[in-house]
Structure 1
Amino acid sequence: MHQVLKALMTMLPDCEDMLVENIVRPFHLSDDDYKKIMDLMLESFNKGLGKESNETARVKMFPTYVRAVPDGTEEGDFLALDLGGTNFRVLLINLKGQEVTMESKIYLIPQHIMLGTGIQLFDHIAECIFKFMKENCLLEKNLPLGFTFSFPCKQKGLNKAFLSTWTKGFKCEGVEGNDIVKLLHEAIERRGDMHVECLAVINDTVGALMSCAHSDRNCALGLILGTGTNACYIEELPCVELWDEDMEDPNFVLINTEWGAFGDDGALDFIKTDYDKHVDKHSINTGRQIYEKMISGMYMGEIVRLVLEKLRRHGLLFQGKGSEELSTRGRFYTKYVSEIESDVDDGFKNTKQVFDELCIDHFTEEDCRIAQYVCSLVSTRAAYLASAGIACLLNKMNRPEVTVGVDGSLYRFHPHFHDLMMEKIQQLLNPGLKFKLMLSHDGSGKGAALVAAVANRLNAEKKLKAQKKQTDNCANSEECCQASAQSQR
């Protein structure tokens, strides 16, 4: 058990200790549990990579078409889009080798658009791009664009990505099964007032990896811990049966695992609590993204709320009195978990502030301690579950040293997530392997631009090779003609 949990347990009053523990016990998982999870994940990963088994696999292991990481020579202006939740960003990124400058703006995706039609969504995105370009005097420029689209997609090219299923509260009609780059280009063409071409579409995990790889060449794994969770990693080509053999083979393939769907086949039922089942039942994608629902920021606050409510109903919290806010589904935000766990003294300043926002005015310091303990249990389980996934991938890759690029609000703002993951990954890692967790600085924006920049560089190199080959052929042809003429003389 992590030292934070141990400290919190010692602060609980003896008379309440066992009663509280009876309610929160399902969140305590053993080392054997996490090792079993790793074994099951490896089975799921291999099934997703298999040509014959992929169709029925829940963890899809999509090959991306990103074949190279930045080499530091990329230069120019690039647009980047980042859609992965309720906030949508447009960025202007300038690359000069290792130097990167960025301008960005955040635009909201209203609820009615999240649940509307695909045309409404992409028209809204195109409108945001236009506003951004107008504000930054870019309308006369012809800019390449990288698009971070953080939803499960099956890619058929660097700029061809077909949405498999919506997650994170989106349910736009007419998008699933369609190429999102084509939908974006159609929305831009409907406007007819800007010049933008999407060269690459990536997942936010790829963005995190690429952003970190720009400065650390050991980065071979990308992880998102935010509204949702996902991971990507560099896989050896022989392990990827899904790769099209007719295509030019790269030395490696970047795999987008879409690991949030792990457990959709029942693999995680042995650790699923009643709180997890309640969250799943009342989600818009019941029965799907089970692993994600145990970890990510979209659901963590709700899990904590359900536990606190059960403690209250049993008279173990707030003297049995609640509030309308605490009883409202989704009202206990995940940011509250981070804030409560950030309290480092007996003043409980943050915890009391959260209670005030929830209109709870009848609490004691013991209530504060219990709430902090519950938050720590839920977040620790989440961190350890994510660690099991990372350790599984690191063991599978079997590289002597790997940097993991990590992005997402949960990892950034939770006070203990990094330390919890470092501790648990080290415990689960095969002997002799080394790793480090590296915070990705704006991977979803910078990473998308870098993928577009690398694509630009590779296209330019390909053209130069083609021109050189044509020149060499012409030179050889001319030499042959001259030699033929001399022989005839």
Structure 2
Amino acid sequence: MGELTRLREFLNELIPSEDQFKRLYQNFCAQVRKGLGAKTNKESDTKCYLTYVQDFPTGNETGRYLALDLGGSRFRVLLVTLKADHEAEQVTKIFDLSEKELRGSGTQLFDYIAKCLHEFVCEQKVEAEHMSLGFTFSFPCVQTGLSRATLVRWTKGFNCTDTVGEDVGVMLKAAIARRTGLKIDMVAILNDTTGTQMSCAHRNPACNIGLIVGTGCNACYTEKVENCERLDSKYKDRPKIIINVEWGAFGEKGGLEHLLTDYDRIVDKNSLNAGAQIYEKMVAGMYMGELVRLVMLRAVNENLVFAQCKLRKYITDILTKKPNCIETKVLSDIANDKGDDWPLVKDVFKNIFHLNDADPEDCMKFKYICDVVAKRAGNMLGVTLSGLVNKVGENFTIIGVDGTVYRCHPNFDGYMRETLDQFVEKDYKYDIMLSEDGSGRGAALVAAVVHREYIERKSLNARLRQ
């Protein structure tokens, strides 16, 4: 049996069959239906949170709006100038968060954010203006209104005290109020997926799905209000609402057991939130590199890779003792490497294993392992995205996408389309649009739409009083 054939057999559990994908599709769609139901929501791992975003950009919005984008150890503040005709300009500043903000009190975090907001508006010389702000908050929340969101749990390394179970909208507004001179009205809280969808919808109103596939992974989509049993009747005067699926948690109720490998189980066991976010751990950038490390360790131990390498024991020690020594970035960096020389893979081997004379066959095998892990992730995402395209039920749906994995891996779009083409119903067409401007601009657009609705309502009331 050839070496590559042996490796393919070894990796077979990471290459799902058509039947496994069909089961994934069925299980995911069932969880979304449960998530939308009033009586079944508690049974679902995809909670399908209501976002209360029910109005969408026309492309003709004008004015200046602020956006705050918090979803990792850095956050962004944006000043977005909308110029009608689908045009927009933005100025962005990035601020770092220290351990004090990441793991201190909620008051410390939001006071620091308000301080940075103040610094930004002064730099942009707009501190005298009354401005609406959209807040992209990329953590699981239960929303009870457009600007009210109760934090369910922290993810991505955050662990601020006195925040879980609290309304983060109230906390940000209080911090802004404590900062003298800030004339900012926070009008909307949204997830980064919603921001991505709104940003792409500003360019094309057919965008009915937002996807983030970066460090973490999540999706949202436009749902008909009659399907949202948990939505209060006062919000049912508008036909649609964006649903934040929170699909990273898919699998917590067992819906992914048929796809989980020992590698996935080890990644989950060693994570900060064992037993949670199972789907995310199979498809997101935070974990793909670690999956490759675990596969490589077993492959080396079974003499499938580096069998003749003089540094084999040293490489095994690194793979054993250094979790996360292979970054997900590596999967993107080497995706287009080919030929006899393998310069990109050799650079990776040099950096991680201090190996200067790698065998071309070992290079080919390592790249193949990386491709298999990335392809599984992209294919799985294509399956679950198909469920959302079919749920939206429009003749043509655009999927707005952002995130470093999608942006940086040259083959990831193709991996997703493979299974999208297989599972999207024949009556529906789809396309994928890269969110050029990220979820931050989407937050500013929600603020603009809220402002537009306020002006229209004010004008209507004035006419009624005449």
Instruction: Supply the distance in 1 between the matched residues of 2:338 and 2:430 (Cα, whole angstroms).
Output: 29
Q: How far 1:406 sits from its partner (Å)?
A: 0.8
Which position in structure 2 is the counterpart of 1:60?
47
Give the counterpart letter for 2:60 in structure 1: T
Contact 1:223 1:406 in 2 (8 A): yes
Task: Report the more deviating stretch, 107-116 or 268-277.
Answer: 107-116
Which position in structure 2 is the counterpart of 1:482?
none
Q: Is residue 392 of structure 2 the alignment partner of residue 392 of structure 1?
A: no
Which position in structure 2 is the counterpart of 1:484?
none
Structure having the higher Rg: 1
Which position in structure 2 is the counterpart of 1:413?
408
Which of 312, 327, 337 aligns to 2:331? It is 337
Which position in structure 2 is the counterpart of 1:21?
8
Which position in structure 2 is the counterpart of 1:462?
457
Summarize deviations over 1:289-309 as a string: whole Å, max 9, x none.
101110011111111111112
Secondary structure at the counterpart of residue 270 of structure 1: coil
Which position in structure 2 is the counterpart of 1:86?
73
Q: How far 1:112 sits from its partner (Å)?
A: 4.6
Instruction: Supply the distance in 2 between the matched residues of 1:89 and 1:128 (Cα, whole angstroms).
Output: 10
Summarize deviations over 1:240-275 as a string: whole Å, max 9, x none.
101101445211111111111110011111111111
Q: Is residue 365 of structure 2 the alignment partner of residue 370 of structure 1?
A: yes
Q: Is residue 37 of structure 2 the alignment partner of residue 42 of structure 1?
A: no
Tell me the TM-score normalised to structure 2 length: 0.94
Instruction: Supply the distance in 2 between the matched residues of 1:211 and 1:246 (Cα, whole angstroms).
Output: 27
Instruction: Supply the distance in 2 between the matched residues of 1:334 and 1:149 (Cα, whole angstroms).
Output: 24
Instruction: Supply the distance in 2 between the matched residues of 1:375 and 1:427 (Cα, whole angstroms).
Output: 23
* 1:134-149 matches, cutoff 5 A: 134-149=122-137
Secondary structure at the counterpart of residue 412 of structure 1: helix
Contact 1:322 1:360 in 2 (8 A): no
Give the counterpart letter for 2:278 in structure 1: I
Q: How far 1:52 sits from its partner (Å)?
A: 0.9
Contact 1:62 1:257 in 2 (8 A): yes
Contact 1:405 1:439 in 2 (8 A): yes
Secondary structure at the counterpart of residue 439 of structure 2: helix
Q: Is residue 393 of structure 2 the alignment partner of residue 401 of structure 1?
A: no
Summarize deviations over 1:290-346 as a string: whole Å, max 9, x none.
011100111111111111122223333333334465441123111111001131443
Instruction: Supply the distance in 2 between the matched residues of 1:113 and 1:442 (Cα, whole angstroms).
Output: 26
Q: How far 1:217 sits from its partner (Å)?
A: 1.6
Instruction: Supply the distance in 1 between the matched residues of 2:247 and 2:387 (Cα, whole angstroms).
Output: 12
Q: Is residue 189 of structure 2 the alignment partner of residue 197 of structure 1?
A: no
Secondary structure at the counterpart of residue 101 of structure 2: helix
Instruction: Supply the distance in 2 between the matched residues of 1:357 and 1:254 (Cα, whole angstroms).
Output: 44
Which of 305, 310, 321 aligns to 1:317? It is 305
Contact 2:4 2:365 in 1 (8 A): no
Q: CA RMSD in A?
A: 1.7
Which position in structure 2 is the counterpart of 1:244?
232
Q: Is residue 110 of structure 2 the alignment partner of residue 122 of structure 1?
A: yes
Q: How far 1:104 sits from its partner (Å)?
A: 0.5
Tell me the TM-score normalised to structure 1 length: 0.90
Contact 2:248 2:278 in 1 (8 A): yes
Contact 2:137 2:191 in 1 (8 A): yes
Contact 1:145 1:449 in 2 (8 A): yes
Task: Flag structure 2 segments of 5+ consecutive residues without an equivalent.
Answer: none
Which of 68, 72, 87 aligns to 2:59? It is 72
Q: How far 1:18 sits from its partner (Å)?
A: 4.3
Give the counterpart letter for 1:373 in structure 2: Y
Q: Is residue 341 of structure 2 the alignment partner of residue 354 of structure 1?
A: no
Which position in structure 1 is the counterpart of 2:95?
107
Q: Is residue 180 of structure 2 the alignment partner of residue 180 of structure 1?
A: no
Secondary structure at the counterpart of residue 175 of structure 1: coil
Pairs aligned (count):
458
Q: How far 1:22 sits from its partner (Å)?
A: 4.3
Q: How far 1:114 sits from its partner (Å)?
A: 2.2
Secondary structure at the counterpart of residue 176 of structure 1: coil
Task: Flag structure 1 segments of 5+ consecutive residues without an equivalent.
Answer: 1-13, 472-489
Secondary structure at the counterpart of residue 134 of structure 2: strand
Give the counterpart letter for 1:400 in structure 2: N
Instruction: Supply the distance in 2 between the matched residues of 1:378 and 1:466 (Cα, whole angstroms).
Output: 57
Identity of aligned residues (%): 41
